[in-house]
Amino acid sequence: MLGVILEKIVLVASRAVKPKDTHYYPEKNPDVRKKPEKFRGRHFINAETCIGCYACERACPIGAIIMVPTGLKRPRAMPVVNLGRCCYCGLCEDSCPTKEKSIYLTEDYDIVVEEVELTPLLDELWAKPVGDITKNPLVVKDLQKQKQQKEGK
Ligand code: SF4
Ligand code: SF4
């Protein structure tokens, strides 16, 4: 019994002098930015390649993806990801059918916000499509078609 008590005392004392395993962020400890291999962080969604197929939205096991209408004929909608709800499983990336993945998880985890209770409402907690949608091949094709139809009249 005494041995167990002594063991506990030694354990507590050793923890008291050991450096902390937790870090202040983002003010201190830049080393905390080192990520493990294959880290899955904030999504990148490419507006220039997404075909609006809904596969990522359907693959998401917890409804963290919403398809937002583009107002165009094609792609009809593009995904936005609620980073506060996401569990970073990567299934959306796996399901994306485009040659160069139109949605993928980057190594960026810097989504710190001060007001935790407000996080679902904060704009920066949504990963949105990035890039010039007018360069999207579907949009280019449809614009060309429209132009040809006009010229044909
Ligand atoms: S990483 Fe997983 S949980 Fe997050 S949006 Fe993609 S499929 Fe949904
Ligand atoms: S990101 Fe990929 S899976 Fe999601 S809608 Fe666009 S093309 Fe489809």
- The CATH number of residue 41's host domain is 3.30.70.3270
Q: What are the pocket residues of ligand 1 if the criterion is a CB atom closer than 6 Å to any ligand atom?
A: 59-60, 62, 64-65, 81, 86-92
Segment 17-35, tens digit of pLDDT: 888 777 676 666 656 666 7
Model pLDDT, residue 47: 97
Domain count, the chain: 1
Please report whether residue 145 resides in a domain: yes
CA 61 to CA 31: how far, in whole Å?
A: 33
Model pLDDT, residue 29: 63
**Ligand 1 centroid to 102 CA: how many Å?**
14
Extract the residue ranges of the chain whose pLDDT is less than 50.
none
CA 43 to CA 109: how far, in whole Å?
A: 9
Partners of residue 103 on adjacent β-strands: 45
Please report whether residue 146 resides in a domain: yes
CA 88 to CA 40: how far, in whole Å?
A: 6
Burial 113-132 (b: 16+ CB within 10 A, else e): eeeeeebeeeeebbbebeee
Please report whether residue 22 resides in a domain: no
Q: What are the pocket residues of ligand 2 if the criterion is a CB atom closer than 6 Å to any ligand atom?
A: 45, 50-56, 79, 95-96, 98, 102-103
Model confidence, pTM: 0.79
Instruction: Residue 95: give the domain boundaries.
Output: 37-152
Backbone angles phi, psi at 148, to 5 degrees: -60, -40
| Ligand in closest contact with the CA of 40 | 1
